[in-house]
Amino acid sequence: MGSSPDNQPANFKRLPVEGLNLLQLTDSHLYADPSRCLLGINTLETFDQVLAQALQESGTPDFILATGDLVHDASDTGYKRLFGRLQLTEIPTYCLPGNHDIPGKMKQILNQDNVHTIPSVQAKGWSLIFLDSTIPNSDGGRIDENELELLEVLLQSHPDKNTMICMHHHPVPVGSRWMDTMVLENPDALFKLIGANPQVKALLCGHIHQAFDTEYRGVRLLGTPSTCVQFIPRVDDFAIDAIPPGYRWMSLQPDGTIQTGLNLLPKIPSGLDLASMGY
């Protein structure tokens, strides 16, 4: 099999811990047509499997974070189907857009009941900030002036709370030439704000379809496998990794530290097209 995320076996079980407990589900790439596949995998089936396993393994987390590329064709039907599944969990869920999403449509369909598309939430001594890093009609990312101003206001509003910033695009290169053509365009502006606000402890992203855990300018950067298809880390060209779909669990501690790990499905879904050169 392929790489082992965070050096954990696929059947690693999260231990119960105190803190703000979160599940991250990312890059689900759902479609209007429930039978459609991405790179040979039915994305709805794997999303359902990952969500069921995550809830079984973690009990009831405080929040679910859905960090973009939620619906591959950005269809109303796809978002409504996603909403239905998230609504059934009865867990507060916070959704942000990826490059395959339409932010306005997400706000229209997903922002109801226990599912939210709001910019921030505070709980258990932590502030979570959700940024829109998308550029219309582009796969790349940028935190535009409006989002930077919003981020500054939110950081200044809760200087006493440990903070995690969440967005779709990775803020720094991950070492894959093809993926890093879609890295955040203006990281300096983002990290200048972060540097002026030491309560920021971590930045969580989607987009990269792989495990990523490093420190940059004193901030922990976390990226996560997709609920469908994974990409091989640190390669120049597009390549599919032979590891199962998964999710990230996190427990944000009162002292500002983060306990986290990745759990994967027991096996690779059948049909995965390892020979694909892109999508």
Q: Can you give the CATH number for the domain in which 152 is found? A: 3.60.21.10
Q: Within a domain: residue 30? A: yes
pLDDT bracket for residue 4 (50, 70, 90): very low
The pLDDT, as a whole number, for residue 14 is: 52
Mean pLDDT of the chain: 93
The pLDDT, as a whole number, for residue 278 is: 80
Cα separation of 6 and 3, whole Å? Answer: 9
**Residue 242 scores a pLDDT above 60:** yes
Range of the domain at 223: 19-264
Q: Within a domain: residue 269? A: no
Q: State both tokens at 13.
A: 């079980």
**Residue 10 scores a pLDDT above 50:** no
Cα separation of 233 and 183, whole Å? Answer: 14
CB 141 within 8 A of CB 167: yes
pLDDT in tens, 244-268: 999 999 999 999 999 999 999 999 9
pLDDT in tens, 157-206: 999 999 999 999 999 999 999 999 999 999 999 999 999 999 999 999 99
Q: Within a domain: residue 160? A: yes
Strand, helix or coil at 94?
Answer: strand
**Residue 155 scores a pLDDT above 90:** yes
- Which residues, other chains included, contact 70 with Cβ-Cβ below 8 Å and sequence gap of 6+? 28, 29, 30, 78, 79, 82, 95, 97, 98, 100, 101, 106
Q: Within a domain: residue 8? A: no
pLDDT bracket for residue 59 (50, 70, 90): confident
pLDDT in tens, 139-150: 999 999 999 999
pLDDT in tens, 86-141: 999 999 999 999 999 999 999 999 999 999 999 999 999 999 999 999 999 999 99
Q: Within a domain: residue 191? A: yes
Give the H/E segment covering residue 123: strand 120-123
Tell me the C-alpha to C-alpha distance, in Å, between residue 103 and each of 43, 136, 251: 20, 10, 28
Domains contained in the chain, number: 1
CB 98 within 8 A of CB 205: no
Q: Within a domain: residue 233? A: yes
